[in-house]
Chains A and B, each alone.
Chain A
């Protein structure tokens, strides 16, 4: 079916962070999700947050390559946003009787559990990065997150050559590793 092929292409584009694909998904789905959240005790900022998180959920799935869409992307997105919003309402202790059109939903609990785990790791990594101190933070950020090459970094940070910068980078990585795993193991023990 051509429809499914189209959706498959969307997911492939999403995995590549293609801006035009993201825009298309927003255009097709955002109004519906926004209406749902506004009708259920939320505001437009919250709608934006929820939609963003749902986009990250499908992005993670698209990247993992295990995304087999058994339903329309629209249905999947709606289900994810609905679940996320219910959870948020519960956290805010704003109880509400859901007002919704009879939309088809699919079970997404398992996917959201995986997302939560990813998210927890994301936060641990972010904390570790923030604790590591300068110049390590900027150095690792430049190499791993901004993908600059070693020559550029050496110039930016005032190292005499790329090799020195490289040694420093590895030293920083060892520290990051310690910080990351300290929290990671801690989190697992609690969770």
Chain B
């Protein structure tokens, strides 16, 4: 029997849509033909697994709703806001890591600073660089390096003003909500986002949180079509030291991949809302997602230590949840649904990138 027909028959059988006559006929065939019976058994199993999948997903959804409600009522406590005891507890737990990380970072930056001083005498006081790229600047440098190549890229941005800054952002809700850095948005009056196909959309800043350096953008362009099935999920828990990570961003006019590892559980000067990661980043990477190998977003690139090599800081992904709570409190009624499950689990890296690159945007503005 044709497999398509059989599947249809099995489905109708399981749903109880068959007439009694059909049913007897169907059962008769099963009895007399073991191969078909085997197929029916398999399809039934698959069908039930799909049903279970649907049920568990719907159930989880209800759980999240209840959780959100109870978190607001304070019955479920939030990691960041649960008072002194928690801070002391976290401090106790991470004291050693922080101390080690700080001393390593200190040592590294001392050594590098020493080296740099010995090579040239001008060293900036502020060692943390935010990774927004000033486009004119880089262009000039590229021009200096490449001499003859000029004004090649300007054509692509015809109807829009020439952007002054470039950074990275990524979708957290297919309706057009993008997370990027607060310091990115603060430098821009008009904001555009561009996907890897070169399509431009205008966007507005919905909310910025300077403390964690995160900002929420909303694409308000009519040309933008809602994107479904965000492939990554956003991690709520802390990640482990040494975890393999990777990032996508726009340090150039093109999407760039980088990989590395999580090197400390706190950020600059023991900032517990951030991680230190070791990955190669450049101006323009700001706001880029940091993912673990399962395809869960664990952080957002914010800055790097300009005097030490490979000391990069990323805001923890938990802060996205905090940001959304703040957005809600500020009176925004739009419901933002974060992706719950990572569809990147178990895929090899190339496929992971292929699946997610459409959801990572260049954020440009002036």
Chain A residues with CB under 8 Å of chain B are 17, 19, 22-23, 26-27, 30-31, 34, 38, 41, 43-46, 48-49, 52, 55-56, 59-60, 63, 92, 118, 121-123, 125-127, 129-131, 137-138, 140-141, 144-145, 147, 166-167, 170-171, 173-174, 176-177, 180-181
Residue of A nearest to B54 (CB): A145
Give the distance to chain A from B225, nearest Cβ to Cβ, in Å: 13
List of B residues within 8 angstroms of A141 by Cβ: 229
Q: Report chain B residues within 8 Å CB of A63.
A: 55
A48 neighbours in B (Cβ, 8 Å):
67, 76, 236
B8 located at the interface, meaning its Cβ lies under 8 Å from any Cβ of chain A in the complex: yes
Q: Is the interface of B mostly helix, strand, loop or mixed?
A: helix
| Residues of B in contact, count (CB < 8 Å) | 50
CB closest chain-A residue, reference B51: A144
Q: Separation in Å of the B6 CB from the closest CB of chain A?
A: 9
Partner of A173, one of B7, B53, B93, B231: B7
Q: Within 8 Å CB of B29, what residues of A?
A: none
Q: Contact: B53 with A26, CB < 8 Å? A: no
Q: Closest Cβ of chain B: how far from A17's Cβ, in Å? A: 5
In the bound complex, how far is the Cα of B90 from the Cα of A17, in angstroms? 36
Other contacts beyond A173-B7, A174-B3: 18, CB < 8 A: A19-B65, A22-B62, A22-B66, A23-B69, A27-B75, A30-B75, A30-B76, A44-B77, A45-B236, A48-B76, A118-B52, A123-B345, A126-B345, A145-B50, A145-B53, A145-B54, A174-B4, A174-B7
Whether the Cβ atoms of B60 and A56 lie closer than 8 Å is yes
Q: Are A59 and B237 CB-contacts (below 8 A) given A44-B82, A122-B52, A126-B53?
A: no
Q: Which of B195-247 contact A (CB under 8 A)?
A: 228-229, 231, 236-238, 240
Q: Within 8 Å CB of A180, what residues of B?
A: 46, 49
B4, B43, B231: most-surrounded residue (chain A CB, <10 A): B4
What's the Cα separation between A52 and B68 when bound, in Å? 13
Nearest chain A CB to B61 CB, angstrom units: 9
Interface of A is mostly: helix
Q: Map CB proximity to A onto B30-66 as digits: 1 under 8 Å, 0 otherwise.
A: 0000000000001100100111111111111011011
B297 to chain A, nearest CB (A): 15
Report the bound CA distance from A167 to B82 in whole Å: 54
Query: Chain B residues near A46 (CB, 8 Å)?
Result: 237
Q: Cβ of B345: which chain A residues have Cβ within 8 Å of it?
A: 123, 126-127, 130
Chain B residues with CB under 8 A of A138? 228-229
- Could you give 17 example pairs across A and B, Cβ below 8 Å? A19-B62, A19-B66, A26-B66, A26-B76, A27-B75, A31-B75, A43-B238, A44-B86, A45-B237, A46-B237, A56-B56, A125-B50, A126-B53, A145-B53, A167-B4, A170-B7, A177-B46
Q: Flag B309-349 by CB within 8 Å of A: 1 or 0 each.
A: 00000000010000000000000000000000101111100
